[in-house]
Structure 1
Amino acid sequence: MTVKELYENLKAGVNDLITSGKFHEYLKFQARFHRYSFSNSMLIFMQKPDATRVAGIKTWNSMGRRVKKGEKGIRIFAPLAVKVVNDDTGDEEWKIKGFKVVTVFDVAQTEGKPLPELARDLEGATVQGDRLYSLLKMASPVPIKFGQTGPAKGYYHPVKREIVLDAGQAGDDLTSTLLHEIIHAIVEKEPPKDEADRERAEIIAEGATYVVAKYFDLDTSCFSFGYVSAWAKGDNEKLIKLGNDIQKAAAELISRVEDAQKKSKVA
């Protein structure tokens, strides 16, 4: 299948989730959670290494959950961003003025309404996944290493220009994570400036992840559809508007992987 055809599959899969009754509840939960910076990931890990999903009291309350009595909060940084005018271009840009400390709690520290789940991790390892992982390591435009990543499966550091993967991952889930972070490395030249920028980056990264993985016979739809839908916040138009960016990023990585395949013994 072509990249365009695979993108259409992605769009159809995400649309099915968005229009399903179950997804309404999922969106209210999943869209409120986002990936954290390296510093905050490390802060979360140091204070509560078994944390999986964290949020402030107001967010948990809005999801029908309450923080258990006696639970100790996790302290992280929240940026204070301001708009400034670029002296050279005259364009408005977001600049970080400073940081403030905020308190969040892990889901295990809360009780109340059950949380819906649609996006699930890939389980086990396949021949296709192992083969793709080997090729991705050769095709990556930045160095890859394993380390502590806090609640995230991995992250791309745009300043250091490196990818760090959770040492506890394995199999097709690891392949999918590496693929996702390589797309970030290909597309992002600087950190996201605000939530809208982060939303755009995540839709492109996981959208392209699905396309590339499917192109090489690895199906990530059980995770990718839910992940993209959550970041699109139930608005399929956001995915459609980013279609060209998703296809362009996917095509570049596919080309890199195929070049790596030609230079290697990976069949």
Structure 2
Amino acid sequence: MADFKRKTYAEKKEELDALTRQLRDGIHDYIGSQRYTAVLDSISRFHHYSMNNSIIIGLQKPEATQVASFTTWKSMNRTINKGEHGIAIFCPVKYKTEKEFEKLDSKGVPILGDDGRPLTEKKIVNQTTFKIGYVFDVSQTSQIEGKKEYPLSFAEDLKFEVEDFDCYMRLIRDVSTVPIEIKSFRSAAKGYFSNSEKKIVIQSGMPDSQTLKTAIHELAHSYFHGKDNINPDRLTFCVAECMEFPNLGEYHDNLSLEDAVKLYHKIPADRLNAGKGIGFELHDGSIYSGGMFPLVEHDKIQIDSINAVKHYRESFEVQKAIMDMREHFPDDGYSLKSTRELQAESVAYVVCKHYGIDTSDYSFGYVTSWLEDENQLMENLDSIKACSSEIIDKMDVSLKQSFQEKYGIHTPEEMAIQLDDYLQDLDLYEYRDQEISSGSIFKETLQNIKEGNTTHIEKFLKETISDNRDVKMTEKGKELLKCLKTFQKEEPLELLTRSRGRGMKR
């Protein structure tokens, strides 16, 4: 597990900025990569199916993701697995036939014969009928050994193991607003977040790294796109008949988002001809607390003006409000599904990277598969950073508690005792031969921990761990190092720069 370290606001911001730059640059490089070109080439080999056939395929095999005929799979060096049954579809069959038509003049008027009846002529026309054909999903096929393999996905599955995997999953469950289940389900998806069922489900049987990344991806969906996920103690909404002068006309405050939207639509747009709107009030203890800021005016979300304020740009609650409001006031060019997936996978990349888990092989390809253009990523970086910061902050708090519970060290005094005992047991400098008693460094160590002056202690522990003289003592040193970092003091933040309060209710 990556070392736990309490960071100052400036350090967190610098790290998130760096990670989102890595995300942006990584996706840019991926788009120009050979793999991206190869996948596009593979996709071009697949047939496009009609709406009716798409429905029929879904009814027969709901988990199907990529279907093609036997011939197409063979051309891609894949064979149909033994015992598999094809998925029936309607295949168009074109043929020619002779039909009789009325003769028309240059103006489209029927030409009459001597008997006054319209003259006719025979023409060859194209006709289409349908027959039953069969296709197979990629899950029903296997790569033919020794032949060229065509990439079928933008993303490469993560297959490496993760140290302290169980601890990370426990942290994710701790910060999730909905239950998380790991079980097998019939779908090609690796996981999903259900708004209606209020739960996250992760496909079982995947490697640790893929399971962990998927869990954070779905966690991001639940944070960003879950209903009733805005804390009313942190953010409320108001509706004004006149946003410029709220004291004129009808005004309602302390509303939920849903109630605000309903009231907004009930107010006639032309009652005062002054521009009705929806505003928000942030309650986070900052200098912005209690002040109303426009969220919607003239049926448009005021994204640019909101994000011009750094404090709102970095606030998860405000960014979440923008996401939720988009369902009621869609933006031009805003593709809900593609943007949601881009946001969730980007957050998964940033959070995993924060804890030393590199998901580049999967995340860059996945984001690229949903990316409509590179500007789409740039437009969402603020919301990605805000949500990533929210999850990291909560996981860090749970991580501290987890370490302290796991190793039974809850106070600076207990930490100092453990360090003193470790030094005595290690006997690195033959203290016992010098008749230096246990507890001789306790007071000094305790004072250093309370003052946050632990750099030299960390250095000592890392050196003894790297020496690896004794397996038992090495493991003990790793435990103490993790615990020591939970006692590092967090630098107090001025209200002006504080982007969010601690301990947000869930």
- TM-score for the superposition, normalised by structure 1: 0.69
- Flag the 1:131–1:217 CA change in 2: closer, same or farther, 3 A: farther
Q: Aligned residues, how many?
A: 223
The question of 1:248 aligning with 2:386 is answered: yes
Structure with the larger helix share? 1
**Structure 1 residue 153: Cα displacement:** 1.2
Conserved? CA contact 1:141–1:185, under 8 Å: yes
- TM-score for the superposition, normalised by structure 2: 0.38
**Structure 1 residue 170: Cα displacement:** 3.8
Aligned to 2:19: 6
Structure 2's unaligned 5+ residue stretches are 1-13, 47-56, 90-133, 228-323, 407-481, 483-506
Conserved? CA contact 2:154–2:369, under 8 Å: no
**Structure 1 residue 29: Cα displacement:** 5.5
**Structure 1 residue 133: Cα displacement:** 2.3
CA distance in 2, matches of 1:189, 1:30: 32
**Counterpart amino acid of residue 73 in structure 1:** I
SS at match of 1:156: strand
Aligned to 1:183: 220
- Flag the 1:216–1:108 CA change in 2: closer, same or farther, 3 A: closer
Aligned to 2:156: 120
Conserved? CA contact 1:132–1:216, under 8 Å: no
**Structure 1 residue 2: Cα displacement:** 1.1
Spell out, residue by residue over 1:163-219, the C-alpha distance to the aligned partner (whole angstroms, 9 max, x if none). 011122241211111111100000003699899211101000000100000011111
Runs of 4+ with deviation above 6 angstroms: 64-68, 110-113, 191-195
The question of 1:136 aligning with 2:147 is answered: no
**Structure 1 residue 157: Cα displacement:** 0.3
Aligned to 2:238: none
Alignment of 1:100-249 (within 5 A): 105-109=136-140, 115-116=150-151, 117-127=153-163, 129-149=165-185, 150-189=187-226, 196-233=335-372, 235-249=373-387
**Counterpart amino acid of residue 349 in structure 2:** Y
Q: Please point out which of 1, 19, 26 is paired with 2:39.
A: 26
Conserved? CA contact 1:48–1:74, under 8 Å: no
- Flag the 1:147–1:67 CA change in 2: closer, same or farther, 3 A: same
**Counterpart amino acid of residue 158 in structure 1:** N
Conserved? CA contact 1:126–1:172, under 8 Å: yes
Aligned to 2:65: 54
- Flag the 1:169–1:181 CA change in 2: closer, same or farther, 3 A: same
Spell out, residue by residue over 1:105-158, the C-alpha distance to the aligned partner (whole angstroms, 9 max, x if none). 412457999532552122132215444223112111111112333211111001
Alignment of 1:61-80 (within 5 A): 71-73=85-87
SS at match of 1:127: coil
Conserved? CA contact 1:120–1:223, under 8 Å: yes
Conserved? CA contact 1:128–1:216, under 8 Å: no
Give the root-mean-square deviation of aligned CA atoms: 3.9
Aligned to 2:419: none
Aligned to 2:400: 262
Conserved? CA contact 2:180–2:201, under 8 Å: yes
SS at match of 2:161: coil
Between the aligned residues of both structures, percent identity stands at 28
Larger radius of gyration: 2
Structure 1's unaligned 5+ residue stretches are 33-42, 76-102
